[in-house]
Structure 1
Amino acid sequence: MEIQIRRGDTLWSISNTFNVPLPLIIHSNPTANPNTLSIGQTIQIPGYRITTYTIKPGDSFYKIATKERISVDSLMLVNPGMVPTALQIGQQIRIPRRVTTTIIDPRQNYDSGILASDLEALATLYPFMRRRTIGNSVMGKDLIEVQIGNGERIVHWNGSFHANEWITTSVIMEFVNSYLLALTNNETIRGRAMLPFYDQVTLSVVPMVDPDGVDLVLNGPPEGNFGEEALDINGGSLDFSGWKANIRGVDLNNQFPAKWEVEAERKPKSPAPRDFPGYAPLTEPESIAMAELAGELSFEKMLAFHTQGEVIFWGFENLEPPRSRTIVNEFSRVSGYEPIRYVDSFAGYKDWFIQDFREPGFTVELGQGINPLPIGQFDEIYQKTLGIFLASMYM
C-alpha cells in the first residue's frame, strides 16, 4: 500500500499510525532517506491493502475509523486532500485494511509458475522481502532467492533440489508467508516474537532449486527438444513421478565436489531419472548457482529440505563443527525427527557445504512414504517442520 508524505510526517510517525514495526517501514522503502522526507513522496506500507468504502448517512471519519478499527490519521493518509467535514453521501473513500491471514495456497501441486506468482504477490504486499535471480535453470527459468531480515547471521534454506520432492517448496513457502504475516502484525509463532529474528538474522531462501524438474513431474514433458530428451531418458513413459533429476537427467544433489568421484563410480553413468551425478561435478546451471550463492553469502548454517523419512543428516567426514550436534538435537526435540550423523551417500549440497565452509549443514527429510509425497500430508509435515524453521534462526 502506498501513501504520500505530508508536512511533519516521519517514518516513525507512520509506523505508529499503522502499527507496523519501524524497521519494516524503513526496509520497505530502501531509497527513502528517513531524515530527508519530502512532501508528496511515496512511501510503501507493508502488510496493508486498499479497499473502497461508500459514504452512508451519518458517516464521519471518526465513525468509519472506529468501525474499521483503524486510526483517523490512517484514513487521512490514504485520502489526501479530502476534507473530513465535507463528506457526501455516495462518495467513495479509500480504507487501509491490514492483511491478517496468509495470502498464498501451498496446498496444491506447486510448480514453478505458482511459485513465481506467489513470490510476486508476497513482494508486493511485503516490500521489505527482497527478491533476486541467482541464476537460471537449463531451460532458462529464474532461480529465485528471497531474503528476509537485517541481521548479520545468515541462515539459508532450500527446497526441491529433487524434482519429485516439490512438496518441500510448498512447506517452505507456507512458513515464509506466515513469517511475513507475523512480522507486520506484531504476532508470535509458537509463542516466539518474530521481530527479534528479523533484527538478528538474514534469512536466505531458495524455494525451488530445480524448477524444470518440478514442472516435468507435475505437468509432463514440455514441447520441444527438452521434453523429447526427458521422455527418452524416462524410457518413453509419461509417468515422471519417479523423476528426481533436472530436465536433462542430472541429479543436482549428486553434483557437488565432496567425494563426487565415489558417487560417480557407483551411480548411473549417463543421464537418468535419478542418481546420475553428471560427467563432472558442478556441470549444471542450477548446482553452479547454489554453489556461488553459498560462496557469496557465507551462511552461518544451511538447511536443505528433502523428502522422505523424518530424519536429519548432519555430518560429513567428521568435518562438521561441534555445535552441529547441539543444533540437530534441538531440531530433533522440536520435530520428533531422528538425527543421523553419517550416511553412505556423498556429493550432496550439505556434504560440500560442511566440507568447504566447516559450518553446520543439514539435510532434513520431511514426511513418510513414497515420493512424491501426497499433498494430503502437507499439514502434518508443516507442523513438524515449523519447529525446525524457528530453531534454525534461534540456535
Structure 2
Amino acid sequence: MSNLYVVQSGDTVFRIARRHGINLTSLYSLNPQLMEQGYISPGLVLQIPPPSAPLYLIQAGDTTFFEIACRLGILLEDLVAANPKADPESLQIGQTLVLPYNKRKSIVHTDSEYGYTELIVDLEMLRQRYPFLVTGSIGDSVLGKSIPVIRLGSGPKQVHYNGAFHANEWITTLLLMKFIEEYAEAYRLGNLLRGRDVRKLFEQTSLWIVPMVNPDGVELVHVGAMPDNPFYELLLEWNFGCSDFSGWKSNIRGVDLNDQFPAGWELERDRREVVGSGPRDYTSTAPLTEPEAKAMADFTKEHDFSLVIALHTQGQEIYWNYRDLEPIEAEQLAKRLAKVSRYRAVKLQGSDAGYKDWFIQEFRRPGFTVEAGFGVNPLPLTQFRSMYDEVIGIMLEGLVI
C-alpha cells in the first residue's frame, strides 16, 4: 500500500527516496510522470511505495529519535519522515521503526547527486562522529546560504583547498567531503591514509577546506529555477528560456565566480566579451561584486596560507602559473602533484581573474587549479571513483610540499 507525498521546495527525486527509505526504481515505477520531466515542482503529489529499508525494534534505553539517529548514523529528519505516526519524544519498548536506509560506516555517500542539502547534513554528522573537526563559515551567498569551512589539523603550516566555484562542477565538493571523512577517520584510528601518517600531518599542518563556494548555483543545477526563487524570471531569461540548468556555471545572479578576482580582471572581461548575466563567463561590472567571491578573498587574507588548491573539472590538468608572478619553485611543485595523480602540469596562458591567479599575484606563493576528471561538465558520478583515486594523491601531497 502506497502513501502520498507532496513535493516541497528543495526536493529532488533522490532526496525523497532517501528520506523515505525507498529505492529510485520503485519511486519511478509508481510515478511514471517523473520520467517525463527533469526537475520536480513543489506541490506535485507522488505515490510513495512501502519502504525497502530495514526495521528497528525499540529497546530498553532508547529514549528519543535524536539518540537513535545519532547512534545509527541516520539523519534525524529522515528518521522522523519515515515514521510519521510515531512520537519522536515518547517511544515504547517493542515499538517498530522504519530506518530510512541501512546503517553504513560511511557518512559521505558518493553514488548520488550532491548539493547544499547533502553538504549540510554530512557536515553535521561528521561533527558528531569526529568532534576534533573545526567548522565555521566564511560568509553567506547571495540567497543567504552559509558557506561552510572545515579545518583539519592544528599545525603551524596553513593550507587551503576549495571546490564548486562553478555550479555544474559540484562533484568537486563530493571529492573534498570524501577526503575530509577519510582523513578524519584515519586520524581517529591512527591509521595511514594512502601511505601517509595522518596524525603527523595533523600536528604539522592546518588544512582549511571550503567544499562549496557557490551553494546557490549548485542548488540551481540540482533543483532548477522554481517560482519561489527571487531570481526566478531573471534566471529563465538569463538561461535563454531553457528550464534545464544542469550546465549552469555561475552564481544565482549569473556571475562567474572564478572570473571575479582582481588579477587582470579587465583583461578577462574584455576576453570573455559577455555583457550580462548568464550561465557562464560573465565577470560582472567590477571585481568582487559577488558575496561568495568577496568572502573567499576576505577568508584568504585572514590566513597565512603557504599553498592553495582550487578543484575544478575537467581535463586532468594542473595549472600552476600566473603571468610569471608565481614563486620559482611552483613548476617543480606542480610536477610533484602531477606525478601522484597522473595529471599534466600545464603552464596556462590567456587566463585571468581566477582565484588561483589572484592568490599568486597577491601573495607570491604557490597556487594551483586542478581540473579533475575528463569529459563534459557536469561529469557523471560513474567517474567519481577514478577521479578520487587521482585527486587524493594531490590533496595529500599538498600537505607536505
The TM-score by the shorter chain falls in which range? 0.7 to 0.9
Given residue 334 of structure 1, which amino acid in structure 2 is its aligned partner? V
CA distance in 1, matches of 2:332, 2:60: 58
Match of 2:225 in 1: 221
1:241-279 per-residue CA deviation (whole Å, 9 max, x = no partner) reads 221000010000000010000111122011111000011
Does the alignment pair 1:307 with 2:313?
yes
CA distance in 2, matches of 1:320, 1:202: 22
CA distance in 1, matches of 2:259, 2:319: 15
Cα contact 2:191–2:197 (8 A) shared by 1: yes
Given residue 229 of structure 1, which amino acid in structure 2 is its aligned partner? L
Deviation at 1:132, TM superposition (A): 0.7
Given residue 269 of structure 2, which amino acid in structure 1 is its aligned partner? A
CA distance in 2, matches of 1:165, 1:327: 25
State which of 144, 159, 173 in structure 1 corresponds to 2:163: 159
1:321-374 per-residue CA deviation (whole Å, 9 max, x = no partner) reads 122122111110000100012221110000000000101000000000000000
State which of 231, 234, 241 in structure 1 corresponds to 2:239: 234
Match of 2:269 in 1: 264
CA distance in 2, matches of 1:100, 1:188: 21
The aligned runs of 1:106-125 (5 Å cut-off) are 106-125=110-129
Does the alignment pair 1:365 with 2:367?
no
Deviation at 1:320, TM superposition (A): 0.6
Cα contact 2:263–2:357 (8 A) shared by 1: yes
**With structure 1 as the length reference, what TM-score do the two structures score?**
0.74
CA distance in 2, matches of 1:350, 1:356: 10
CA distance in 2, matches of 1:282, 1:299: 20
1:47-92 per-residue CA deviation (whole Å, 9 max, x = no partner) reads xxxxx9989xxxxxxxxxxxxxxxxxxxxxxxxxxxxxxxxxx9xx
State which of 332, 336, 342 in structure 2 corresponds to 1:330: 336
CA distance in 2, matches of 1:343, 1:109: 33
CA distance in 2, matches of 1:224, 1:393: 40
The aligned runs of 1:1-395 (5 Å cut-off) are 101-222=105-226, 223-267=228-272, 268-395=274-401
CA distance in 1, matches of 2:230, 2:298: 28
1:87-120 per-residue CA deviation (whole Å, 9 max, x = no partner) reads xxx9xxxxxxxx9943221332100010011001
RMSD after superposition: 1.8
Superposed structure 1 runs of 4+ greater than 3 Å apart: 52-55
Deviation at 1:385, TM superposition (A): 0.6
Deviation at 1:293, TM superposition (A): 0.7
Runs of 5+ unmatched residues, structure 1: 1-51, 56-89, 91-98
Given residue 243 of structure 1, which amino acid in structure 2 is its aligned partner? W
Q: Point out the structure with max Rg over C-alpha.
A: 1
Percent sequence identity over aligned pairs? 45
Q: 1:149 to 1:53 in 2, by over 3 A?
A: farther
CA distance in 1, matches of 2:236, 2:132: 42
SS of 1:293's equivalent?
A: helix
Given residue 244 of structure 1, which amino acid in structure 2 is its aligned partner? K
Match of 2:66 in 1: none
Cα contact 1:102–1:181 (8 A) shared by 2: no
Runs of 5+ unmatched residues, structure 2: 1-57, 62-92, 94-102
Cα contact 2:110–2:381 (8 A) shared by 1: no
CA distance in 2, matches of 1:110, 1:230: 22
Cα contact 1:101–1:181 (8 A) shared by 2: no
CA distance in 2, matches of 1:269, 1:298: 36
SS of 2:385's equivalent?
A: helix
Match of 1:42 in 2: none
SS of 2:158's equivalent?
A: strand
CA distance in 1, matches of 2:337, 2:229: 44
CA distance in 2, matches of 1:228, 1:145: 32
SS of 2:295's equivalent?
A: helix
Cα contact 1:213–1:245 (8 A) shared by 2: yes
CA distance in 2, matches of 1:219, 1:320: 39
Aligned length: 302
Match of 1:24 in 2: none
Given residue 311 of structure 2, which amino acid in structure 1 is its aligned partner? F
Cα contact 1:250–1:272 (8 A) shared by 2: yes
SS of 1:160's equivalent?
A: coil
Match of 1:18 in 2: none
